[in-house]
Amino acid sequence: MNRNLLPIVALAAIIGTAGLAQQVNADFGTHTIWMNIKNTKTDTAKTVEWTSDRYLFEKNIPVDVDHLKAKKIKQIFGTNKFTFTWQMDNYETSWHHFKVSIGMKAQPGTTLRVTFI
């Protein structure tokens, strides 16, 4: 190898690893999943939020809730798995005299699946 190229290759390797270290550090993020419950008879509302930490390459986010909440979510929506995209950021349904919605903000171009366990 030419001795004149050695400092250039070493500098490129140092800059490359520094950039990679910053990228790995930025790949960890938090997401907030929310559930809004509105009583249509009394016009009162309650919002429940869960924060989940994950790496950005993960497509499935498990949300640990107690057994009764998981059972109620499955009863209301018919499932405990929700897929969120930039265009589809919430699910909404009516149950008895309640209007219930579950949602989260997804980055454009990403698809995230939330599973309540």
Does the structure show a pLDDT above 70 at 22?
no
Answer whether residue 89 is part of any domain. Answer: yes
| pLDDT tens figures, 62-77 | 888 899 999 999 999 9
Full residue range of the structural domain in which residue 59 is found: 28-116
What order do you get walking across the sheet with 81-84 strand by strand?
60-63, 112-116, 81-84
Q: What pTM did the predictor assign? A: 0.68
Number of domains present in the structure of the chain: 1
Element holding 103 (H helix, E strand): strand 98-104
Q: Using CA atoms in the order 39, 104, 73, 37, what is the torsion angle rounded to 10 degrees? A: -10
- Chain position carrying tokens 């559930």: 35
| pLDDT tens figures, 81-98 | 999 888 888 999 999 999
Answer whether residue 97 is part of any domain. Answer: yes
